[in-house]
Amino acid sequence: MNLIILKKEDFIHRKVVKLKGRRFKHLCKINKIQTNHKLSCGLLNGKTGTGVVTKVSESFLEMRISLDNNPLQPLPLTLILSLPRPKMLKRIIESVTSLGVKKIYLINSWRVEKSYWKSPVLDKKNLEKYMILGLEQSCDTILPQIYQKRFFTQFVKEELPLISKNSMCITAHPKTYRKCPYNINGKTTLVIGPEGGLIDKEIETLENIGFSTFNIGSRILKVETAVTYLISRLFL
């Protein structure tokens, strides 16, 4: 936990917070916190700064908080991701959050199992839990926005042109000869398909609205590996 994410309900006074549960246990077990220890903190969707531990009991701790710094700058990336397996989705959400992605669209496609859409992982509170883990890791405070789109063709034809306007539009696909560009560092919309890739008709639908199809080499990677690799290639 490189940054302690605070919520408004943690504040018991204007500049004093009280922490229980997971964060408290982690700080006691891993950080071995004691009175007067200074810790990095940030208000969820707000500023960052420090907290000084003023009290430690068996079930909670209190800190005096000073939050004066702006959060990290986000990546200029919109991620369009075919819904992966729930266990993989947990890891992907945490990873892309830590990399600074702030707009994520989970979409349906031909090879996405219908049962995935019924997973409790997609519940708002569960998604937030994995996003917060990513924020804690990367010392950021701004939650990504996650949208769920169940109808591929409708989404691509009606919504994606506006979402991707004035950006570089990329579809990652293993069955193409063009290599993915690198070090773009500009506004980008990136589409990544499911395990096995998007089908030809889906690629065609994306190409018809201006998306260029690229591969990332001869090795075919798992989605969670490909997502991290592509973001690193394009921005880091």
The 10s digit of each residue's pLDDT in 44-90 is 999 999 999 999 999 999 999 999 999 999 999 999 999 999 999 99
Judged on CB neighbours under 10 Å (0-12, 13-18, 19+), 70 is exposed
Checking if the pLDDT of 236 tops 80, the result is no
- Domain(s) labelled CATH 3.40.1280.10 in the chain stretch across 77-235
**CATH architecture of the domain formed by 77-235:** 3-Layer(aba) Sandwich (3.40)
Residue 150 has pLDDT above 80, yes or no: yes
CB 36 within 8 Å of CB 64? no
For 152-166, the pLDDT digits (tens) are 999 999 999 999 999
The pTM of this model reads: 0.95
The CATH code for residues 4-69 is 2.40.240.20
Per-residue pLDDT band for 134 (boundaries 50, 70, 90) equals very high
**pLDDT tier, 196 (very low <50, low <70, confident <90, very high otherwise):** confident
Q: Report pLDDT digits (tens) over 21-30.
A: 999 999 999 9
State yes or no: pLDDT of 112 exceeds 80.
Answer: yes
- CATH 2.40.240.20 maps onto the chain at 4-69
pLDDT at position 226 over 90: yes
User: Is residue 230 predicted with pLDDT exceeding 80?
Assistant: yes
Determine the Cα angle at 85 with ends 129 and 112, to 5°.
130
Residue 220's pLDDT is: 85
